[in-house]
Structure 1
Amino acid sequence: MLKLRSPRLRFFAVEVFCLVDCGHQEPTGFDPVILLAGQDICLSFTMMFGMNPSPSHSADADEPARSPSGPRTFLSEVVVSLIAPAALVFLLVIATWMQQGFVAGIRCGMDLIQPVGLIWLGLLALATHAVRQWRRGTVSGFKPIAWLVGFVLWGIVGNPGFANWASSQVESPLVSEPHPALEQRSLDRPLDAVVVLGGGSSAIAPGFYELGRDGERVISAAQAYHAKATRAIIVTGSSTDGYEPPWKQSTQLLLSLGVPEEVIFRIEGVNTRAEMKSLKQLMDSPPAQWKDRWTEESMESGEPQVGLITSAFHIPRAMRLASNASLDLIPLPCAFRAKNNPRPWLASSLVPGAGSLDDVGKMFKETVAKMAGQ
């Protein structure tokens, strides 16, 4: 059905419609013939232009109001919400550039567009949008506060400074006396063995292994052997997925570092508790090949001196489990996360990163394990 487009025709139709009222009432002073003619005109207009035969309704009144700029309004909201994150990126990159140089500024920008950085900026954008909604009265004040809290918390847990502090609260403290590196200590006698807990390497392909961030465990053991600080190395760890157990990976890596196979001994264990249980059995019934390498003092006492090499954050829990298994081990922490190097404040240190999140996650795990009595 056609719609009435011209304002003048629409006005004329309404006037006629009101004049004759389409036969609902009979105004006084009009000839019936004129009324009938008016009714015909009114009905013609209603049929041609889709008007309701009632003066209280019109086609325009029934149509919902349309927003001619819906997509444009949404786009403008997105643009405005991104102003705060964009300003933060600009300030951090410029500040880093001024403090550390152009390359560091580019690196800061790249860190900001990594997944962790993008989540951080996204939370700020959502907080900005929620604040605008709150000012318009469309949402409660809880929504912008929630997004702002999320932005702040994500920035904290992913912050390298916070990760460094959390690591310092959990890790075995770094001491200068004796020297933290076993191979650089002045020992009265070498250790009879060092235990290398699994977890410092990964299997890239069958028979091809690489050291990870905690690979210092394997390196420290090899250094200690070559410095004659230990006479044997015990590698640990079983596979939970049936693929390349940690003891096998550590063995191959030690061999590649020049450690003879006859001084490497292997024990199983799917976790630290199981590894300590296996170590207890080994020390209670040591194989002759290992016992022949003990020092004279250990042979006389029947108690070998054994050091425990693992990551610094893992040492406290490993030593607790060793004590529970009635093992007297010498802690040899390595792969420290907490850095004791005072540095000036840098703008780039505000940017959260995946490495910091990983460190905080490990410290949280160790804290929960301690609370659980492990």
Structure 2
Amino acid sequence: MFFWRKSKNWEDEYDEYYTRDIERGGGSTKFRYLPHFLLLLFVGAVFCAIVGAVAGMTMLEKLLTALAMPVGILWLLLLVTIYFCLINRNAWPAMMCFLCWLLLTVAGNSFFTSWYAGTVEQAYFEQDLTDVDPFDVVVVLGGGSTTRLSGNPQVSESGDRIVQAARLWHAGKAKQLMCTGLQSFRSTEKDLHPYEEATLLLEELGVAPQAILKLNGINTSEEMQNLKKWSDANPGQRIGLLTSAWHLPRAHRLAKSQGLDVMPIAAGFYSQPYAPSPNIVVPSEYNLVVSAAVTKEYLARLVGR
């Protein structure tokens, strides 16, 4: 790059200084970058001091914790790498590292992920199920639970699907609940299918066993195909489709592609009100998961799934 090819600048003089120093026997290049490391430490210390003074010790502790996480460490290493590439005038490595750092920063930012999730969830922000007529069956898509090593089920990050289903049944808004999902691979006999996990959890939440139906399907597309077959065999049913808000547009789209008339029911929103967090600056693993989930929904829309 042309602005990297100056005939002589401060870095050239820096190189010449160390070269002359070595020739005189007065130094070694192994300490050449020590002032830079000290400068970076000083800048980091000043930044932490400002955070502590402005936001308090609690926020400072959260910031240091975020920086100590794997994503935080990677974020810092990329910053340091960019800095040293720049002082050594390695333009393209610096640019590539900056692009990686920028992607990590944006995708792991709590402001961005809340807005990004809102682009697919906004249609359900004001959804209110208190005044709707009861459903004959509410389909609870799999993915809201996992199996522990002991063989017992537990709710996952998307577990609000199961909780919302139990709430609807107890409120008299769902006569029956239909749990879906099969695993394509089971590591052990204790590794339950998603519909088995959801069934056990719903029973523990007080739902009557006779009110729970099961539906097979490896993915959402297969589940909607099987739901179409069930609907054809049981006409006249008022059906609700319950899944995480970020996943609901795709599930509803696939249901309509099968000719199903279902009402979408949202649970587990990723969009959240603003809350002070170090992840406004330092990316986090959770926000990266949110970004990946929403991106997957857009990719599915792009390929017509």
Q: Report TM bin, short chain.
A: 0.7 to 0.9
How many angstroms apart in 2 are the aligned matches of 1:165 and 1:357? 13
For residue 186 of structure 1, the aligned residue among 127, 131, 138 is: 131
- Kindly indicate whether the alpha-carbon contact (under 8 Å) linking 1:127 and 1:147 is maintained by their aligned counterparts in 2: yes
Name the counterpart of 1:116.
71
SS where residue 207 of structure 1 aligns?
coil
Name the counterpart of 2:225.
277
What pairs up with 1:171-250 in 2 under 5 angstroms?
171-176=121-126, 178-179=127-128, 182=129, 185-187=130-132, 189-242=133-186, 243-250=191-198
Query: Shift of residue 110 of structure 1?
Result: 0.9
Gaps of 5+ in 2: 1-21
Name the counterpart of 1:354.
285
How many angstroms apart in 2 are the aligned matches of 1:69 and 1:114? 41
Name the counterpart of 1:254.
202
Query: Shift of residue 238 of structure 1?
Result: 0.3
**Cα deviations across residues 6-30 of structure 1 (Å, max 9, x unaligned)?**
xxxxxxxxxxxxxxxxxxxxxxxxx
Superposition TM-score, scaled by structure 1 size: 0.69
SS where residue 175 of structure 2 aligns?
coil
Please state if 1:170 is matched with 2:120.
yes
How many angstroms apart in 2 are the aligned matches of 1:363 and 1:283? 29
Name the % identity.
28
Name the counterpart of 1:309.
242
Query: Shift of residue 199 of structure 1?
Result: 0.4
Query: Shift of residue 69 of structure 1?
Result: 8.9
How many angstroms apart in 2 are the aligned matches of 1:67 and 1:282? 88
Please state if 1:153 is matched with 2:103.
yes
**Cα deviations across residues 324-351 of structure 1 (Å, max 9, x unaligned)?**
1111110011111112x255x7665211
**Structure (1 or 2) with the larger CA radius of gyration:** 1
Name the counterpart of 1:77.
33
Query: Shift of residue 207 of structure 1?
Result: 3.3
Superposition TM-score, scaled by structure 2 size: 0.84
How many residues are paired up?
280
SS where residue 148 of structure 2 aligns?
strand
Q: Given the superposition, is the C-alpha separation of residues 305 and 146 from structure 1 closer, same or farther in structure 2, using an over 3 Å criterion?
A: same
**Cα deviations across residues 31-69 of structure 1 (Å, max 9, x unaligned)?**
xxxxxxxxxxxxxxxxxxxxxxxxxxxxxxxxxx99979
Gaps of 5+ in 1: 1-64, 287-301
Query: Shift of residue 76 of structure 1?
Result: 4.3
Q: Given the superposition, is the C-alpha separation of residues 81 and 263 from structure 1 closer, same or farther in structure 2, using an over 3 Å criterion?
A: same
Name the counterpart of 2:8.
none
How many angstroms apart in 2 are the aligned matches of 1:281 and 1:263? 20
SS where residue 84 of structure 2 aligns?
helix
